[in-house]
Amino acid sequence: MRNFLWGVATSAFQIEGNIENDFTDWENLGKFKNDNADPRYENGSNHWDLWETDFEYLKELNLNAYRFSIEWARIEPTRNEYSQPAIDRYHQMIDKLIEMNIEPIITLHHFTHPSWFHSLSPWTDASSIEIFTKFAKKMIKEFAPKIKFWITFNEPLVWALAAYGDAKFPPGQKDLYKVMDVTYNILYAHIRIYDMLKNFDEDIKVGIAKHFVIFKEARSWFLDKSLANRLHQFFNVMILDAFRTNTLEIYFPFLLDYVSYLPLDNKIDFWGINYYYRLHAKFKINYKNPMELFAKNPTTDMGWEIYPNGLKKIIKLVSKYDKEMIITENGIATDDEKLRIKFIKKHLKVVSKQIKRGKLLIGFFYWSLLDNYEWLEGKSKRFGLIHVDYENKFKRTFKPAAFIFADLIKKFKTNNNSKGKIKSKAI
């Protein structure tokens, strides 16, 4: 497929360093210690200083696209005061990518916020919509003339659950109805941003990067099967359906009963698929905690089960919604390069077969270019194709899997058939 997007994905905060935001505030307050993790940010992977070197690696990997995010806290560190030097730096980055014939794909929101945000206008409050869309409007004015692909939000439900479900992300509250209110307001902000981008240029493509998980019943018991289905509907299907039905709706016995009109009107051009693993669901007779979720035979350093067939299932699910799809994240945390290579090959084989069967897949992005700050895990979990030596001035070294990935991309590009589909024999 000649225009297929081959890339890697990153997020600003996880790699850039030299930033203060709600996550660094949370760390400084000792809040992460409550989870017995105490991750240390310590300038991420120092990409803010080393971005030019890092971009050279993109070409060496045979990539034609790069997904990255704009760090809101860097742009607007104080309410209504924008940092022109930060904006200029992002312009430099985008211009360099374009010069290198690499398609830049922007993510506007990837989990982090300015320090002032949660106290002034948390996502539980409708005022958050206006405040975030004002930031987005500024970014559109700056970058829309250069950027064709925009991702408004990365994994909105994941962030809502982490911040208002189990309280591990700031602002750290536990209320499932707030999770839904947050999701509603985020999706409403998406509507506003979609309209702004389309008013600027109707050919711009706008999407959401959504996390998907395969849920499998732990036992053949009907309550385990029912639980797995409920989780699937909540985590995987609810937001997809909302774009068609204009209703954000979920019923989860004993936990959640939520229905709210939301005028989405199918305002999305592509679905970003973030896929990593499968979970097994076991029903428990416990009113406060009626479920247990676990991985079988976890083989990644995150404790995640490797299940490539799940990607096929997710592509099949999302294809029913008749939108283009991009695999916006797929990767593995491991120090075992043989395992990383096997992971990449198996998932790309799925991608190849799905394209051959006519699915509207237009891109694949490995997570991630660099080892980085992996949220609650700190820097102990290494997803990168490039090793970062945190103890030696952030020295970069290609891992063996990077060369395999680059070679596979080259083979994919070479083995196009006459219809532009990728031949599965490339793997």
| pLDDT at 2 (0 to 100) | 58
**pLDDT bucket at 416, cuts 50 / 70 / 90:** low
Average pLDDT over residues 2-31: 95
pTM metric for this prediction: 0.96
Using the predicted structure, report yes or no on whether residue 13 has a pLDDT greater than 70: yes
Provide the β-strand partners of residue 149: 105, 205
Q: Are 152 and 105 in contact (CB under 8 A)?
A: no
Beta strands in 295-350 (DSSP E): 324-330
* C-alpha distances out from residue 204 to 2, 129, 143, 151, Å: 19, 22, 12, 11
Q: Are 16 and 71 in contact (CB under 8 A)?
A: yes
Distance from C-alpha of 130 to C-alpha of 89, rounded to nearest angstrom: 26
pLDDT in tens, 215-251: 999 999 999 999 999 999 999 999 999 999 999 999 9
**pLDDT bucket at 98, cuts 50 / 70 / 90:** very high
Distance from C-alpha of 104 to C-alpha of 144, rounded to nearest angstrom: 11
Class of domain 5-212+268-278+298-426 as given by CATH: alpha beta
Mean pLDDT for the chain?
95
Those residues whose C-beta lies under 8 Å from the C-beta of residue 311, and which sit 6 or more positions away, are 273, 275, 327, 330, 347, 350, 351
| pLDDT at 38 (0 to 100) | 84
Pairing of strands 103-109, 247-252: unpaired
| pLDDT at 420 (0 to 100) | 37
Question: Which of the 8 DSSP states describes residue 157?
Answer: H
* C-alpha distances out from residue 281 to 113, 211, 316, Å: 32, 18, 22
* C-alpha distances out from residue 128 to 52, 104, 125, 198, Å: 34, 27, 6, 22
Q: Are 51 and 369 in contact (CB under 8 A)?
A: no
pLDDT in tens, 118-168: 999 999 999 999 999 999 999 999 999 999 999 999 999 999 999 999 999
The candidate with the shortest Cα–Cα distance to 271, out of 357, 329, 213, is 329
Q: Burial letters for 356-367: b for 16+ Cβ neighbours within 10 Å, e otherwise?
A: eeebbbbbbbbb
Q: Where are the alpha helices (DSSP H) in 29-175?
A: 47-60, 72-75, 84-99, 117-120, 127-143, 156-164
Distance from C-alpha of 220 to C-alpha of 242, rounded to nearest angstrom: 30
Pairing of strands 256-261, 270-283: unpaired
Q: Are 23 and 41 in contact (CB under 8 A)?
A: yes
